[in-house]
Structures are given as C-alpha cells and as structure tokens.
Amino acid sequence: MKTQRLSVLVAFFFIVPIIGCQTQQYREQNLDQYLQKFIGSSRADIQNNLDFKALGYQTNKEVISTDQELSYTILRPIYIPMAGSNTSIGANAMGVPVIRYDTTSTPSYDINFNCKVTFNLKDDIAQSIQYSGRAC
C-alpha cells in the first residue's frame, strides 16, 4: 500500500511537470493547410477571405500586391526582460536588509520576428505559396 502511494506521489511530482513543460501553444488549424486552400483562388478572393487573426496570428497592416505576388507579413513579437537592472536594497519591518525588485518598470529587449507569406500569382490566380523569415 505504501509503495502504491509512493509511486503515485512520484508520478504526480515528477512526471506531470515534465508533461506540462512539453505542451505547445495550440492553434486550431495548421497555417500551411489553411493557406493551401487558397491555391487556385483569385487575388480578390484571397484578399477578401484570408483571416490570419482567426488563426491567432498578428499581421502587418500593409499587404504588398504586385502583378506576380500578394504578400502578407505575420508578426511574432518577443519581449525578453533584462534581469537585475532594477534592484534596490531596503530594510524590512525588522530592519533586516532585503533586495527588492522593481517589476513595474523592468526594461526589456523587444525582438520582432516575422514570417512573410507570398502567394505567387499568374493571371491573378494563386499558383503557389512561399514562406520566408525566422518565424515561419
């Protein structure tokens, strides 16, 4: 009986956190699968029906449109906090020194990764899709 409890505790404290760390952000639909549906569609159909926001993606407002291409830019902003820059030493109620961290104004690096999705057009009909960028 004790070994069963011990094995349950081991599973709970060691295996469950590992599984929790492996979870990824869930998106209802794969981006490539979604975009493949637009192959064979006209430029106007793509512009009217393509909805990155519904998939959970943030895009640049500017759409680049030429005779041969229709391009969208998916933005992936990442904020990396800089550790240790806003610390001070104070005293608690008993006079013991305490390190305090100011989390309200923590500076950070702002990195904007992006993915450029380009529909290659021929006679205003999508023939293929190209992806470029670090966030694709």
Pick from 37, 41, 35, 32: nearest CA to 122: 41
110 by DSSP, 3-state: which? strand
Q: Supply the pLDDT for residue 123.
A: 96
Q: Look at residue 82 in the predicted model and tell me its pLDDT.
A: 67
Each of the 136 residues of the chain gets a pLDDT tens digit; together they read 555 544 544 444 444 444 444 434 444 468 899 999 999 999 999 999 999 998 889 998 899 999 999 999 999 887 776 665 566 677 777 888 877 766 666 667 667 789 999 999 999 999 999 999 888 8
Query: Is the Cβ–Cβ distance between 42 and 50 less than 8 Å?
Result: no
Give domain limits for the chain.
2-132
The string of DSSP codes covering 69-96 is EEEEEEEEEEEEEPTTSSEEEEE-TTS-
